[in-house]
Amino acid sequence: MPISKKRLEEIKAFKNTDFSDCPELTDEQLAQMIFKRQSVRAYSRTSVDFLDNDIDLAVSLGIQPLIKDIRVKVKVLRKAEVSNNRSDYCIAFYSEEKPYHLENIGFIGQQIELTLQSKGLGTCWWGMKKPKKNFKSADGLNSIITMTVGYPKTPETRKYPDGFKRKNSADILIKDSKPDNLIEAVRIAPSAINLQPWLIEKNDNSYNFYLKTPGNLLEKMINDMRHIDIGIAMAHLFVQAKADGINISFNFEGADITNGKFICSAVLG
């Protein structure tokens, strides 16, 4: 369906808005996007000025990584560089391959997604799409995953909670853990084919993240995506915690459980 004239006028007005005097996005405003974000699959063919610059998005947006000593680069590619028929722009995530590099990409990428959607852009993780041959690496780093980005054809945000088709809290919590504000932010995180492959154990001062043991062939085939997904979920907890004035650090030492692989503990304080 072609983009409407009204929507084109809305995008033009938004692009011409002077944001120079606007304060930076607050932690609270970013956390609000957790409950509004939407995966966008239909975009207008409208240029996004700051995406036309040769920038590393993670650096430009001041994104905090999960693990600082893993080298990462986040580039904006054009549709011809990714065979992208959805949008004119695609974000490509590159990383050196170390333990937890997939979780790190999910953690970084989801913060970028929330930030871009707060600016009126649409995004969607695109797990199966990789850059073309000449763009499969950057600065010696391998491409991991991509994300489409651009102005949505129609304004797209979700209404919470009915707009989120997710598991109940009881399905992701273990060992008599009780839901709270941070758990809810994790619960509604996006994941590949909406599998939500995480289990959470809530203790007095920490949240332990486990990756559920793959239950079928499909889950085994997309296991890398499942590791990215749990990084996305940890990003939601991190962003919500900052909005609530809670400091979070991450500890990667812990034991597996019967039906899950230990990934990390998000430690409060």
pLDDT, mean of residues 81-86: 84
Output 24 or 217, whichever has higher pLDDT.
217
Beta-bridged to residue 96, according to DSSP, are none
How high is the pLDDT of residue 156? 65
pLDDT, mean of residues 242-258: 96
Q: Which of 140, 131, 230 is nearest to 189 (CA)?
A: 230
Distance CA 30, CA 240 (A): 8
Taking a C-beta distance cutoff of 8 angstroms, is the pair 149, 129 a contact? no
How high is the pLDDT of residue 269? 86
Q: Say yes or no to pLDDT of 20 above 50.
A: no
Residues near 67 by Cβ (< 8 Å), separated by ≥ 6? 98, 100, 101, 103, 104, 250
Q: What's the pLDDT tens digit per position in 25-67? A: 899 999 999 999 999 989 988 888 888 888 899 998 999 999 9
pLDDT, mean of residues 248-266: 97
How high is the pLDDT of residue 18? 43
Q: Which of 105, 175, 122 is nearest to 11 (CA)?
A: 122
Q: Which of 130, 268, 251, 127 is nearest to 204 (CA)?
A: 268
% of the chain surpassing 70 pLDDT: 91
Distance CA 78, CA 90 (A): 6
How high is the pLDDT of residue 102? 98
Distance CA 83, CA 170 (A): 40
How high is the pLDDT of residue 192? 94
How high is the pLDDT of residue 3? 55
pLDDT, mean of residues 147-154: 91
The DSSP string of 185-241 is: HHHT---GGG---EEEEE-SSEEEEEEEPP-SHHHHHTHHHHHHHHHHHHHHHHHHH
Q: Say yes or no to pLDDT of 158 above 50.
A: yes
103 DSSP 8-state letter: H
For each of the domains in the chain, give its residue range(s) and CATH number, in order of start: 39-150 (3.40.109.10), 169-268 (3.40.109.30)
How high is the pLDDT of residue 175? 87
